[in-house]
Structure 1
Amino acid sequence: MSTVGTGAAGGAGRRVYEYALVRVVPRIERGELVNAGVIVYCQAAGFLAARCALDEGRLLALDPGADVAGVRRALEAVEMVCRGGAEAGPAREEPAGRRFRWLTAPRSTIVQPGPIHSGLTADPVAELDRLASDLVS
């Protein structure tokens, strides 16, 4: 799936970006999920960031015994890995593209990435805001 993001008329100044949703799947066997974040990567702009927001009510509706604090810590870790630096742990020295690929690698845990999608944008920060608003909030 491809999405066309914000940008200048005629495509001038727009760059390819990739994004993936961050999903919370409290009971893997049921396959139910809550969108809890989005990761945006734009290689041309040197941009990697995540915006996470957990809707506790939705999560607890799917699994009243969910470890909300643990999920919050996992979502915070996604944001920290995107930012890089000391708080990113072993990923701190990795380039943004490698950190994006690591974060979006398939996994069978309670917090997992969705498929990667791409689009064009002139402003990766605005694209992150738009995607978070449309798909997470």
Structure 2
Amino acid sequence: MTLRPYQYVALRCVPRVEREEFVNVGVVLLCEEDGFLDAACAVDEVRLLALAPDLDLGALHRALAFVESVCRGDGSAGDVATGTLGNRFGFLKAPRSTVVQPGPVHGGLTADPAADLLRLRDVLVG
């Protein structure tokens, strides 16, 4: 079994940036050696609405769909989705002050990036 390096970021829903409270809603994983860039998301709407009753869930779901489109290289997401895997991951991991923000970049080794993406989603998002 050959292990290859990967990087990932947890995606956080930050309903009110000034409060710095967040709930993890997804993971983006890049394994360049395998040509793999994908996102796995899971939104606990009850938990999020308890934290921020006025949260626009539609906007959250649209933001996550955009992330998934960038990962897939879907040109309808704009120029950012047509770059290399590394450039797309670089865009997705860049800090921003929106309702969906990336956490710190972490790394590891994998024999199966798709399986590790789902494992990380289950561990980090629930």
TM-score bracket, normalised by the shorter chain, equals over 0.9
Letter in 2 for 1:33: F
1:69 and 2:58 correspond: yes
Q: In structure 2, which of residues 32, 47, 53 is the aligned counterpart of residue 58 of structure 1? A: 47
Aligned position for 1:114:
103
Distance 2:68 2:106 in 1: 19
Provide structure 1 residue ranges, at least 5 long, that are not aligned to the other structure: 1-7
Residue 24 of structure 2 is aligned to residue 45 of structure 1: no
Residue 101, structure 1, aligned to residue 110, structure 2: no
Is structure 2 residue 28 aligned with structure 1 residue 22?
no
Amino acid at match of 1:126: A
In the superposition, the TM-score normalised over structure 1's length comes to: 0.88
Q: In structure 2, which of residues 38, 61, 68 is the aligned counterpart of residue 79 of structure 1?
A: 68
Q: Distance in 1 between matches of 2:23 and 2:101?
A: 10
SS in 1 for 2:104: strand
Q: Which runs of 4+ in 1 moved over 6 A?
A: none
Q: Matched residue pairs, number? A: 126
State the match for 1:5 in structure 2.
Answer: none
When Rg is computed on C-alpha atoms for both structures, the one with the higher figure is: 1
Which range moves more in the overlay, 88-97 or 122-131?
88-97
Q: Deviations over 1:55-83 (max 9, x none)?
A: 11111111100111111100111111000
Q: What is the TM-score with the length of structure 2 in the denominator?
A: 0.96
